[in-house]
């Protein structure tokens, strides 16, 4: 009797499970969601979605609030001057992916006022792209190129007269803008020495002690005599007017200025992601060492 009872209970259990499964199949089902790619989290549902970061305090300790993640939206890193779209012949396997996008000039007046010898060097640099571009070698990009590099950067601002920190994901670049200690560096550096001051609501940063390097992928360049004067003007909670005047008597016939807007990244939980590029440059830097010995 006990065995018969157990058998009946088991049969009823199976019928209930099967019936529930069939009912679930007959019921209308939600549209299947795409599976998350390996290493990624599934996209949040609409109910769990976070709002965009549109609201923020306009001022901080009586100064404009520059805190946040900012990014340029132009092709200045390809060429500061106006340029057409064109192919990169050494990257033909990438098809249209490996092409230079067209872009308007961000140089006030249109062109960079090179001295004759410096203009010849610019032409030589273009013929050596990409191998000689410091960006391809994972060198720090210097100022002002770090600002309009395609990757975003973050500004950390605190008390009214405290130093301001700018952090860039490419090659772990960063610079502390000294608001009080304006002593020069003992030696030139990739990011130089940045000294800041407030002119009303405008943050003015003067950078010197720079190692001579490239300004973009087109071979525009400067020497270690460069002085850069940047002006950051907050136009609203999500926009900065950025201007940088470059003075280098060894390279240019006169000072010249670039200008562009910077846009605040407003997506929920925005953050910088590291780009430690050194391993990606090994084959380029040490290709001779990788070749088999004869």
DSSP 119-188: HHHHHHHHHTTTTT-TTTTT----TTHHHHSSS-EEEE--STTS-EEEEETBTTEEEEEESS--PPPSS-
Any domain includes 220: yes
pLDDT digits (tens, 9 = 90+) for 171-226: 999 999 999 999 999 999 999 999 999 999 999 999 999 999 999 999 999 999 99
Cβ neighbors of 197 (< 8 A, separation 6 or more) are: 179, 204
Any domain includes 122: yes
- The upper half-sphere exposure of residue 84, i.e. CA atoms within 13 Å in the direction of its Cβ, equals 2
The Cα–Cα gap between 261 and 72 comes to: 7
Residue 126, token pair as written in the block? 């273009």
Any domain includes 51: no
Give the whole-number percent of the chain exceeding pLDDT 70.
84
pLDDT category at 48 given cuts 50, 70, 90 is low
Any domain includes 279: yes
8 A C-beta contact, residue 203 and residue 232 = yes
Any domain includes 78: yes
Handedness of CA 88, 130, 71, 46 (dihedral sign): positive
The boundaries of the domain holding residue 235 are 64-266+275-285
Whole-number pLDDT of residue 43: 52
Task: Tell me: pLDDT of 41 over 60.
Answer: no
Whole-number pLDDT of residue 45: 55
Any domain includes 14: no
Report helix, strand or coil for 233: strand
Average confidence score pLDDT of the chain: 87
Task: Tell me: pLDDT of 33 over 70.
Answer: no
Whole-number pLDDT of residue 96: 94
Mean pLDDT of 11-36: 42
């Amino acid at each position: 009797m006990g065995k018969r009872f157990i058998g009946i209970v088991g049969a009823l259990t199976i019928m209930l499970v099967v019936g529930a499964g069939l009912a679930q199949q007959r019921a209308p089902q939600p549209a299947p969601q795409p599976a998350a790619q390996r290493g990624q989290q599934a996209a949040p549902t609409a109910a769990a979605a976070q709002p965009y970061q549109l609201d923020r305090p306009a001022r901080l300790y009586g100064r404009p609030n520059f805190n946040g993640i900012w990014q340029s939206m132009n092709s200045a890193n390809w060429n500061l001057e106006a340029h057409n779209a064109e192919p990169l012949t050494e990257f033909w396997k990438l098809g249209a992916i490996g092409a230079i996008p067209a872009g308007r000039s961000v140089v006030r007046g249109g062109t960079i006022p090179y001295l004759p010898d410096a203009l010849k060097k610019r032409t030589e640099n273009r013929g050596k792209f990409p191998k000689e571009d410091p960006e391809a070698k994972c060198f720090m990009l210097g100022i002002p190129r770090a600002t309009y590099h395609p990757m975003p950067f973050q500004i950390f601002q605190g008390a009214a007269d405290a130093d301001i920190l700018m952090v860039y994901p490419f090659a772990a670049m960063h610079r502390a803008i000294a608001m009080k200690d304006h002593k020069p560096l003992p030696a030139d550096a990739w990011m130089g020495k940045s000294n800041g001051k407030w002119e009303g609501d405008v943050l003015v940063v003067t950078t010197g002690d720079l190692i001579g390097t490239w300004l973009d992928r087109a071979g525009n360049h400067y020497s270690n005599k460069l002085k850069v004067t940047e002006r950051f003007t907050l136009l609203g909670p999500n926009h900065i007017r950025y201007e940088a005047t470059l003075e280098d008597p060894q390279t240019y016939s006169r000072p010249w200025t670039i200008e562009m807007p910077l846009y605040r990244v407003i997506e929920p939980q925005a953050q910088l992601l590291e780009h430690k590029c050194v391993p990606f440059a090994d084959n380029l830097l040490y290709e001779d060492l990788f070749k088999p010995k004869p």
